[in-house]
Amino acid sequence: MTTVAATATAYAQKLRDAGFPAEAVPLDSPATTDTYAMTLYGVHVGPYGTAAAAANTRTQLKAAGYPSTRTFFTAETNPGSTGPWQIRVITVAPGADVDVRTEHGTDVSTSQTVKQMATASGALAAVNGSEFDIASSNNPAFMGYEGVPQGLYVRNNVLLGAPNNGRTALLLNTAGGGHRITETTSRTWVSVPGKGERDVDGVNRVAGQILGCGGVGGDFREFADGPKPWTDPVRNGTCYDPDEIVVFRPEWGAATPQPAKKWAGAAVTEVVMNGNWEVLSVRHAPGPIPAGGRVLQGIGLGGAWLASLTPGEKVTPRTTITDPSGASVTSPAFSAVGGGTPALLRDGEIMLNPAANGVAHASCVLPAPANGCRPSGVLTSRHARTLAGISADGHLMLVTIDGRNPAYSVGVTLPEAAKVMRWLGARDAVGLGSGGDTTMVVGGSLYNRPWDEWGDTALRERPMSNAVVVVPRS
């Protein structure tokens, strides 16, 4: 892709001279709250009637010295698409005799299908929740635990995954009642008499590596010209920190993990505590998490601070989860999942904030400049979507739009998703996991059609991190 039309035109001519039916094509990215409008240009070769024919041409292009190609379906890149679209909507009224909350699988460190989570929780209906660390050839930084959510995850007012600070999230059963969609920031810290306090960098994740960035103090991101300090969120990005403390609860699983591969060989210190946060032991290798207890794991300076603790000492934990005004959003029944997209609607108007959510161009640094950051292609990529919306009178909408199948449902871009949610009557809206994540289960049965890739013929229920479930009120 290029920002210069003449460059794409010249490249297309070069391909035509080599015998390939190429043309330069524009891709318009609209202006948003924090990114400016931009037209990018690519070069398309084709079209072809079958994926096999396109694959054959890609082989020929590689042999001719053009190795960097991929196959696009015309439905995927058509800005004027008229569908088809398969849209399914679950609406929960404010006074309904049900509870809406989040749910994960057997533990936070492993993945399960939405159907499995719905069945285990006795859900009437469920949709997929947050994005997560997925085992995929497209994710070379995978940390080895597919259930780990990207960003905020709260279940029954227990923080089980720290947010990528500043990102938009779906908040259920919030302080003051009702549901909300807004940006959140969280801080967790611990203190010990006579030994001061220390920030806890992460919750239930591998130490030293932050999926989605947006962490606290000391984080950096790697670039071609070297590492740079980084605290902004970056959707699906990776940040690192050699001096961390991470807290593990029994919900993580039976035992704590090794730190990130980047810090292999680094000293690991763990403080094992009971449910009252009283220190039981200090150990220097990952090990079991006691039933009802907690484990603080530290590397670098974080590990050095933990090594100063002794059995019998009392650790005092504190956590805040706040909205942009600084007000707490939690309540005894609070649950939350981080969004997988920017905000889509705010107060009934289309309002996308990709830069704030780490889905602008890699060059974007917050706060976004007055004219906005450069956009990325995420805005105009067409995928299956799982969307959450809240109407002015408090109705919660959980929506799936299938995609990746031109004959059945092509999916939507993010601006299109915002228009759908406004049409459905939402006041505020955000996307959750999308693409192959998009799943809806009703009455224990799959209610939509999830495909992993464009062109797939078989449905696949993807195991994932967590779900939003609607359960009978007990």
Secondary structure letter of residue 14 according to DSSP = H
Cβ-based neighbour number of residue 332 at 10 Å: 8
pTM: 0.94
Q: Which domains does the chain show, CATH number per domain?
A: 5-72 (no CATH), 79-177+336-474 (no CATH), 185-322 (2.60.120)
The band of 76, judged by pLDDT with boundaries at 50, 70 and 90, is confident
403: Cβ contacts below 8 Å, ≥ 6 apart: 382, 383, 384, 385, 409, 410, 411, 412, 435, 438, 451
Residues 95-117: tens digit of each pLDDT? 999 999 999 999 999 999 999 99
93-95-99-100 Cα dihedral, nearest 10 degrees? 30
Tokens read off for 187: 């801080």
Residue 266 has pLDDT above 90, yes or no: yes
Residues 170-185: tens digit of each pLDDT? 999 999 899 999 999 9
Residues 145 and 206 sit within 8 Å (Cβ to Cβ): yes
Q: How far is CA 9 from CA 25, 48, 212, in A?
A: 9, 21, 36
- DSSP character string of 46-92: ---SSHHHHHHHHHHHHHTT--------HHHH-TT------EEEEEE
The band of 78, judged by pLDDT with boundaries at 50, 70 and 90, is confident
User: Three-state SS for 318?
Assistant: strand
4: Cβ contacts below 8 Å, ≥ 6 apart: 41
Instruction: Provide the pLDDT for residue 358.
Output: 96
The band of 75, judged by pLDDT with boundaries at 50, 70 and 90, is confident
Average pLDDT over residues 214-220: 93
